[in-house]
Structure 1
């Protein structure tokens, strides 16, 4: 498996960069076309909507079929949706592309994460491999928005138009459509890791996993920290648009957040050997609360960039430890199902929260969104302290 890990990481980067670029370019195009923050909130929510319905079936499908078939279907969906957006860059098609790109990325991520988790030999290797795998989404959150922003600003000029015209957006969407094809080239020969026997869905339900108190605590921690990613991804472009920043500047700010999240994950194997998971999670939640309270007071692009970098460092440190903890407290034959449950709960909130962000931002301004989520994540740090007992790998096979 170790020789396949770089290919899986690169494939993860390309597919996730497709969605990350779309999540920056599509809302900016909608704003340019005169749509309100509420409409942009609806568009952003659609990136998560498909994942709500596909997460559990995708997890069970990965348990039955391994890696290649789920990823192949995801690549087909992502390419189809983004190509439609390049040909027809209008709001309804952007919504369809958001559904396709979001669902494809979620389903493929479950299969990739399950493949890595089932290949680890012990808890230490589990943390190390998830630390490396988690670099993929973090780096793609830098690559996708940055390249999309550059294409939006410059392709129109190269073709005789102006910065930020429709041709630039078409180029960004076309670039996003090519990335999933690279993902398929990376994984099409990877070894399969199916479960020995398919789960009997009639006698076991995914929600039974939540009977375990530690699973409930972990899901709450993961949901709050994921909400912080959603807030930054949604609110920062709106805030930058209000302050007159260019698409390249907004893409760079999002990219600074993502690259710092990727950089800190390079240190996670070393940190994980010296710090307990619950300590890192609780500290990250408290630090995020402080940064969210300060973010709206930043006066310009440089200060906002500093906050973005610090947020990336803090939030980027927790996902490998969350994934490692999830595999430690989940039965071996239900890893895909547990990953699907995690994705379902996260994306259910990702559907609702951008709608709420857009509604609140349209009425009272986006600063209140930062402050509200900052208070919530600070309060939720108590749940991370409750994960102290997850010290050694254990099973919840009694579920």
Structure 2
């Protein structure tokens, strides 16, 4: 398979898989609200998506190396679709947590599998372009997923109100997941051939203990976790804010699409900006923009929310590839895989613990407490970046 062919197949798969993922998260939030969930439960629900990755990220990576990333993606897509389908069989808030954990595990397998595949195909050359393909496709999936799912779900509601038909929305998500699976048959040959080259070229595996001792690594992990938690909390709690403001689910989908579109645009020319201003400056400016947007969101209506989403698009689009590059710039080339695996584990720990704490904080203050607590978290990340030497050039993978 040529480079153009596998890039196209991977892009289609990543777009559909990511559209399904963000759509599922939105619909589960609305379904939980319809069942009477409070902010604390929504925080727990957000955490259950991350729990499988905390426990299974490193084993999944080792299996993907042995069996192939494409096979891992195929299994993950089927698991995510099956977990979504289970929501139609058993009602209730308790089972919502079980289903979200199953879906979360499926998404983990998709993410690990796709990143492993990209690592395999780029072993003999630069990985920047290959990982850029995956990143761009995932962002496009985030762009089209929310409006597509919420549009269908709102049509099912009958009157275009703020309470969508989550059954219809979830069916759209299942369709996205299943439509992403045929790419496996296009990608598996290239995966098998290039995986053998990678295995033969591998050096001794890196120990996590040695990676943990890397000077300054903890700073990059803290900042990465804070940014990723913000993405999670946005999908979990923007529906709560919209419900309080009597804003329709269709409008919520458009708002999140604006955020995703700005995130895509923010990465254009990013390398030139880093060369001119440095990675540290770009991290400070972008995270500050996200914090300011979160402070403003609970105080705005629908019109102001579009401006807020522009700030969030910049604040969440720029730091993600930069923190990935920061991690790899701090570690030896032979330890990049271990460092990125550690980054994923830390991210998931943050996704599990912080939403619960913020959900509890929202109990007396409502949704305002959630967004302002999240802004405080990002301000803490700003302090960490300010005291660091984040470097000026991206070194490696942007996943």
If the length of structure 1 is used for normalisation, what is the TM-score?
A: 0.85
Aligned to 1:177: 174
Mapping of residues 117-136 of structure 1, within 5 Å: 117=119, 119-120=121-122, 125-136=126-137
**Residues 42 and 382 (structure 1), Cα distance of their counterparts in 2 relative to 1, 3 Å cut:** closer
Cα distance between partner residues in 2 of 1:165 and 1:233: 16
Aligned to 1:186: 183
Cα distance between partner residues in 1 of 2:276 and 2:182: 37
Cα distance between partner residues in 2 of 1:147 and 1:89: 24
2:253 to 246, 251, 254: 251
1:118-155 deviation digits (Å, cap 9, x = unpaired): 544799x5444434422233332232222221122112
Cα distance between partner residues in 1 of 2:234 and 2:76: 26
Cα distance between partner residues in 2 of 1:365 and 1:297: 12
Cα distance between partner residues in 2 of 1:338 and 1:184: 29
**Residues 260 and 18 (structure 1), Cα distance of their counterparts in 2 relative to 1, 3 Å cut:** same
Aligned to 1:137: 138
How big is the shift at 1:343? 1.7
How big is the shift at 1:76? 2.1
Q: Which runs of 5+ in 1 are unaligned?
A: 395-399
Cα distance between partner residues in 1 of 2:131 and 2:258: 22
Cα distance between partner residues in 2 of 1:102 and 1:274: 39
Mapping of residues 273-312 of structure 1, within 5 Å: 274-298=276-300, 300-312=301-313
How big is the shift at 1:42? 1.8
Instruction: Determine helix, strand or coil for the equivalent of 1:213.
Output: coil
CA contact (8 A) 1:278 1:388 kept: yes
Mapping of residues 46-195 of structure 1, within 5 Å: 46-117=48-119, 119-120=121-122, 125-157=126-158, 168-190=165-187, 191-192=190-191, 193-194=194-195, 195=198
Q: Which runs of 5+ in 2 are unaligned?
A: none
**Residues 258 and 162 (structure 1), Cα distance of their counterparts in 2 relative to 1, 3 Å cut:** closer
If the length of structure 2 is used for normalisation, what is the TM-score?
A: 0.85
**Residues 318 and 129 (structure 1), Cα distance of their counterparts in 2 relative to 1, 3 Å cut:** farther
1:245-266 deviation digits (Å, cap 9, x = unpaired): 1221222222221222122224
Cα distance between partner residues in 2 of 1:199 and 1:97: 39
How big is the shift at 1:335? 4.5
Cα distance between partner residues in 2 of 1:133 and 1:275: 26
Instruction: Determine helix, strand or coil for the equivalent of 2:246.
Output: coil
